[in-house]
């Protein structure tokens, strides 16, 4: 599994902490290659990470901004991305296990300890395998591809 990580200027410190935490736990992380500045814009990071994740089967992504909302909105515009904005471990678990999310967006306002728990949960949670969840995910993918006619 490839794990990508990116942040805007508000998430630099948390990104560093998470990368260290993941490395200490034997999980390699790839930064997306866009440098941070005081005037950077979160959509640039979300779009680039989203493209990388969507083009690599089994890849996951972590996005960090001030509160995770902007990153999740932007990432969800990338075809093939289902991004959960998580503020709890339960959000991360259900985002991946119930909704098939492949990208996690978190806020730098969470604090390091909670962010680590959320990231660990997202990474370790198995993808959806319950039929009703898979059916829903398939509807989303089909809609994204113009193949699903809503009710």
Which element (helix H / strand E) includes 6?
Answer: strand 3-7
Distance from first CA to last CA of the chain, Å, rounded?
A: 36
The catalytic residue among 7, 9, 21, 65 is 65
The catalytic residue among 7, 9, 83, 98 is 98
98 is catalytic: yes
65 is catalytic: yes
Which active-site residues does the annotation give?
A: 65, 98
């Amino acid at each position: 599994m490839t794990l990508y990580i990116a942040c805007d200027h508000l998430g630099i410190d948390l990104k560093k902490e998470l990368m260290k935490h993941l490395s200490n736990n034997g999980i390699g992380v790839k930064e997306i290659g866009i440098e941070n500045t005081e005037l950077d814009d979160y959509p640039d990071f979300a779009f680039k990470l989203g493209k990388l994740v969507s083009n690599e089967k089994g890849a996951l992504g972590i996005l960090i901004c001030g509160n995770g909302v902007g990153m999740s909105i932007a990432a969800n515009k990338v075809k093939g991305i289902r991004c959960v904005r998580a503020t709890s471990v339960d959000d991360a678990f259900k985002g991946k296990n119930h909704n098939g999310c492949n990208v996690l967006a978190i806020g730098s306002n969470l604090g390091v300890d909670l962010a680590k728990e959320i990231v660990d949960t997202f990474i370790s949670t198995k993808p959806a395998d319950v039929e009703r969840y898979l059916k829903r995910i398939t509807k989303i993918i089909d809609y994204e591809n113009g193949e699903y006619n809503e009710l």
